[in-house]
């Protein structure tokens, strides 16, 4: 009987509210509906944020790292070491997590990309049709990103670069040469065609530019393989000091010409942050969440390339050595790159054949075929 009485009272209250609502003038009824919708949206958004926070923090965890690379040594905990991937000071247990290399789309229909601003290393190189594609490399200890992508197909020269980190290589299919190379290498790879549960297709993006994954998914895949860390060659890093920064008119910007205005790249030096802001097609390049893309170091590799089939796919001679430009602290210098084999990471040397020491933090690597593709100018 208690339930029946409650049910009757609830129905009676509903009918009273309905009659009162219908007596209101039309503008007031519209206002009530809008307020109710706004309240529901606020509650739903709040619950989603709370659930996402709980989920990512309990499954992945958040590593404590010193991202301010201008800190002096006495401000960094004494037991911290440089992370292998980008030289940022972290707790020793986070120094050599398994890196994840993700093929990311740069077709105009794929923009803005998700997670690109949070990558530690990014390669950009030409594909067929004079468009570029990215390979973004993440330290899994910090890849708590809810979305990464759009994920696209593999190419053999990106596979070569990924092998230098012995990374988990994430892709959606690939060219015949790339897929053959992946079968022959010991490097782990996760292909959406066969491991689809670690990816999803967004209804908010146009196919085929709509395949996404997440830091959590890649973490879970590596966890299922029972792999935690991997060895690869780390670059040399230095501490930043104001004395190393360029002086006023000596500071330099970098322009990269990929022979397509939709893929024109500019890196503009920000002296206050001692980093470079990325512009693409003359506009600030932002991540999907609005985060501006920036880098502590910008490297340009000159790599010969040839068209190899009717689909205009490319072969790049990225094993061996070649010319390089390296830009940090507002200045760009010429040097060289050397990569002894596909399984070894390329190393950057100055004009005296001494290994370059970079600033800790994000590095972007632009790959070009000609000297004229790069323009360095003072501002």
Q: Which pLDDT does position 59 carry in this prediction?
A: 26
Q: Which pLDDT does position 55 carry in this prediction?
A: 36
Q: Which pLDDT does position 337 carry in this prediction?
A: 98
Which residues are CB-contacts of 78 (< 8 A; sequence separation ≥ 6)? none
Buried b (16+ CB within 10 A) or exposed e, 304-318: ebeeeeeeebbebeb
Angle, alpha carbons 90-92-93 (nearest 5°) = 105
User: What are the backbone dihedrals phi and psi of residue 330, each rounded to the nearest 5 degrees, phi first?
Assistant: 85, 5
Residue 324 CA to residue 302 CA, distance in Å, equals 6
| Residues 215/148, Cβ–Cβ less than 8 Å | yes
Tokens of 195: 């491991």
Residue 282 CA to residue 276 CA, distance in Å, equals 15
Residue 115 CA to residue 149 CA, distance in Å, equals 7
| Residues 161/318, Cβ–Cβ less than 8 Å | yes
| Residues 347/355, Cβ–Cβ less than 8 Å | yes
Pick the closest to residue 337 from 347, 345, 351 (CA basis): 347
Pure H helices in 305-372: none
Q: Which pLDDT does position 60 carry in this prediction?
A: 31
Give strand pairing partners of 136: 102, 122
DSSP 133-156: EEEEEEETTT---S-BB-B--B-H
DSSP 219-248: HHHHHHHT--B---PPPEEE---GGGS--G
pTM, full prediction: 0.81
Q: Which pLDDT does position 5 carry in this prediction?
A: 54
Cα diameter, the chain:
92
Tokens of 94: 């986070």
In a 3-state reduction of DSSP, which class is residue 22? helix
Positions in the chain whose pLDDT score sits under 50: 1, 3, 45-64, 67, 69-72, 142
Residue 42 CA to residue 36 CA, distance in Å, equals 10
């Amino acid at each position: 009987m208690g339930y029946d009485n409650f049910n009757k009272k609830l129905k009676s209250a509903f009918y009273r509210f309905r009659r009162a609502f219908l007596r209101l003038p039309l503008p007031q009824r519209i206002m009530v509906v809008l307020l109710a919708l706004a309240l529901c949206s606020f509650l739903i958004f709040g619950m989603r944020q709370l659930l996402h926070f709980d989920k990512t923090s309990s499954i992945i965890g958040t590593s404590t790292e010193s991202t301010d690379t201008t800190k002096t040594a006495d401000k960094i905990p004494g037991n911290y070491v440089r992370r292998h991937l980008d030289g940022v000071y972290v707790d020793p247990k986070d120094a050599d997590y398994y890196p994840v290399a993700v093929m990311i789309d740069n077709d105009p229909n794929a923009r803005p990309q998700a997670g690109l601003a949070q990558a530690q290393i990014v390669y950009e190189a030409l594909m067929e049709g004079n468009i570029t594609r990215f390979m973004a490399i993440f330290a899994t200890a910090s890849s708590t990103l809810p979305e990464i992508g759009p994920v696209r197909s593999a190419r053999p020269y990106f596979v070569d670069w990924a092998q230098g980190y012995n990374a988990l290589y994430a892709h959606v299919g690939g060219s015949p040469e790339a897929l053959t190379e992946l079968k022959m290498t010991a490097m782990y790879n996760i292909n959406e065609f066969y491991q689809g549960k670690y990816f999803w297709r967004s209804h908010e993006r146009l196919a085929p530019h709509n395949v996404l994954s997440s830091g959590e998914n890649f973490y879970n895949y590596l966890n299922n393989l029972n792999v935690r860390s991997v060895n690869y060659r780390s670059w040399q890093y230095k501490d930043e000091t104001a004395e190393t920064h360029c002086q006023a008119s000596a500071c330099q910007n970098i322009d990269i010409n990929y022979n397509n205005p939709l893929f024109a790249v500019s890196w503009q030096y920000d002296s206050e942050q001692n980093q470079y802001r990325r512009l693409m097609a003359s506009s600030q390049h932002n991540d999907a969440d609005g985060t501006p893309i920036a880098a502590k170091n910008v490297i340009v590799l000159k790599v010969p390339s040839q068209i190899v089939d009717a689909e205009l796919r490319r072969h790049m001679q990225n094993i061996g050595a070649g010319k390089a430009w390296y830009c940090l602290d507002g200045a760009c210098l010429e040097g060289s790159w050397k990569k002894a084999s596909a399984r070894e990471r390329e190393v950057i040397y100055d004009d005296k054949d001494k290994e370059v020491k970079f600033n800790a933090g994000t590095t972007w690597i632009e790959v070009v075929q000609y000297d004229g593709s790069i323009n360095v100018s003072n501002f």
